[in-house]
């Protein structure tokens, strides 16, 4: 006799969501943490979830970059948080690209948090456009907190937990503005 505890449906419903945060510095990590708190407050993310933080400079080490990518692949939400827009290294770019190309059985979301009110770096502008295009192709929700990118941004809570309903983006902006 098969136990009800071993059914795939129950195992999937009991699974704790994972969030991977790649960040530039402490201030950027705190902004990512505030985003998670706002998603919890709105019901888009449960109170219990696993979080993994990786600082950008750790990703320059091949072994650590591989470990960070492997952990990110298992995450439903990936947050890239930077203070300086030109701080996206090659390793960050490649890591996000690999994360986006992973076969997906569940829904996923990418949040990009940058300081400032506009994209000042040409490299960052091109990179954000590439990520947005790939996200659309892969059916990945993407959120960017810069005003010029908000019109392209997706409501993250629709993809995190379907039972939750998103309140408004203005609350999210106010949480870490």
Domains of the chain, earliest start first: 18-176 (3.40.50)
Chunked mean pLDDT (size 10), the chain, 177 residues: 47 70 92 89 84 92 90 88 80 87 75 76 83 86 76 57 36 47
Cα separation of the two ends of the chain: 55
Nearest CA to 54 out of 83, 29, 17 is that of 29
Beta strands in the chain (DSSP E): 18-23, 50-55, 77-82, 109-114, 141-144
Tell me the three state secondary structure of residue 51: strand
Q: How far apart are CA 43 and CA 165, in angstroms?
A: 7
Q: What pLDDT, on the 0 to 100 scale, is given for residue 104? A: 65
Q: What pLDDT, on the 0 to 100 scale, is given for residue 142? A: 86
Tell me the three state secondary structure of residue 22: strand
Q: Are 157 and 165 in contact (CB under 8 A)?
A: yes
Q: What pLDDT, on the 0 to 100 scale, is given for residue 88? A: 82
Q: How far apart are CA 15 and CA 3, in angstroms?
A: 17
**Full-model pTM:** 0.77
Q: What pLDDT, on the 0 to 100 scale, is given for residue 119? A: 67
């Amino acid at each position: 006799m098969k136990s009800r505890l071993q059914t795939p449906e129950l195992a999937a419903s009991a699974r704790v969501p994972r969030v991977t945060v790649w960040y530039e510095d402490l201030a950027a990590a705190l902004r990512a943490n505030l985003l998670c708190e706002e998603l919890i407050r709105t019901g888009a993310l449960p109170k219990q979830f696993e979080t993994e933080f990786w600082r950008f400079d750790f990703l320059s080490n091949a072994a650590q970059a591989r470990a960070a990518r492997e952990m990110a692949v298992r995450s439903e939400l990936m947050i890239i948080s930077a203070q300086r827009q030109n701080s996206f290294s090659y390793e960050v770019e490649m890591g996000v690209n690999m994360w986006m190309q992973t076969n997906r059985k569940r829904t996923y979301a990418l949040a990009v948090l940058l300081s400032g009110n506009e994209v000042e770096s040409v490299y960052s502008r091109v990179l954000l456009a590439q990520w947005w295009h790939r996200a659309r192709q892969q059916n990945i929700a993407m959120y960017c907190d810069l005003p010029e990118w908000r019109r392209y941004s997706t409501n993250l809570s629709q993809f995190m937990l379907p039972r939750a309903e998103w309140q408004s983006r203005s609350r999210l902006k106010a949480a870490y503005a």
